[in-house]
Amino acid sequence: MEPAAIHAMATVIGNPGRYTTEQSIRSFQTMWLTTMLVLIAIALFEGGLFTALIVTRALVSWSALALGLVGLCATIKVCRDQSRRIDEFERERMNWRRGAVGEQVVSDTLACLPENYFVLNDVKTSCGNLDHVVIGPTGLFAIETKNWRGVVAADGAGELLTNGSSCSTAEIRKLLRRTMLVREQVMSLTGRDVYMRAVMVFPRARVEAAFGSTGKVHCVTDERLCSYIEEPAFSQKLRSCDVDQICRALEGIARMEPAFDRERKSVVATKSTATVTST
């Protein structure tokens, strides 16, 4: 009896959510550091005030008592302000963590693409972070993951609405700008015209933004993502040699460590061994 054939999957390079995880850690560190600095400042102020009152105990007056009361009120206000800052830092940290979870979901989805596709997770460039970059026979894709809930729609001016409300930042414009800059860098390194499609993916939201309503950025759910990428109409067909050339160009743009190329070769070798074994 022949062994069951192993379904060849896309080559996945890099860890999804690394950037967002780092941001979450930085947010926590900032929260901890600012809290400690505030506590130290309060301790120094109260200590100095208490020492002054002890030294001048024979001259305690209404002015000294008033100064102590002012110090107490200032301490209470500082503590309340810091409490609000801690809440803000914690909300920001939770947003980063949710973003990392969404990127992992999308990375797992992209791994189901055929073996002639490459998925690069968390590509850091000089002009910003790209959650995922996909290169394959149907083209080059810059993918941004938004782990939003609810309904995502177009606002009529090329940007997004979430549950009927405008976003605080121009998410579409920001992704498109980053995509165009990376595309120009790829073209400069490869010496050929390359089209890079910008895609925004929503793993937990219902997408009602039709293609064209958000300009050159297409919005899809994670369930539709693979079929979208495999559809030749949305990007530019590439030969296998072009795919490899663009991979190397992106490696240079991202200023990744030398282990990046070794990891890519290792994954390819592992896949090749698995294919031979299955046959």
Summarize pLDDT for 93-117 with one digit per residue, the tens. 556 566 567 788 898 899 999 988 9
CA 185 – CA 125 distance, rounded (Å):
10
Q: What is the CA radius of gyration of the chain?
A: 26
- pLDDT above 90 for 46: no
CA-to-CA separations, 226 to 167, 206, 232, 253, in angstroms, rounded: 27, 17, 12, 25
Helices (H), the chain: 18-55, 62-110, 171-190, 222-230, 240-253, 259-278
| β-bridge partners, 151 | 206
Summarize pLDDT for 200-223 with one digit per residue, the tens. 999 989 999 999 999 999 999 999
Helices (H), 196-239: 222-230
For residues 150-168, average pLDDT: 92
Of the two residues 76 and 136, the one the predictor is more confident about is 136
> Can you give the length of the chain in residues?
279
**Could you state, in order of their start, the residue ranges of all structural domains in the chain?**
18-99, 114-278
DSSP state of 4: P
Between the CA atoms of 26, 32, 33 and 36, what dihedral angle is there, to the nearest 10 degrees? 180
- pLDDT above 70 for 258: no
Terminal CA-to-CA distance of the chain, rounded, Å?
12
Handedness of CA 226, 232, 235, 241 (dihedral sign): positive
| Closest among 106, 128, 115, 94 to 15, alpha carbons compared | 106
- pLDDT above 90 for 198: yes
- pLDDT above 70 for 275: no
**SS3 assignment, position 60:** coil
- Residue 187 · residue 131 · CB < 8 Å: no
- pLDDT above 80 for 78: no
For residues 162-181, average pLDDT: 90
pLDDT in the model for residue 233: 87
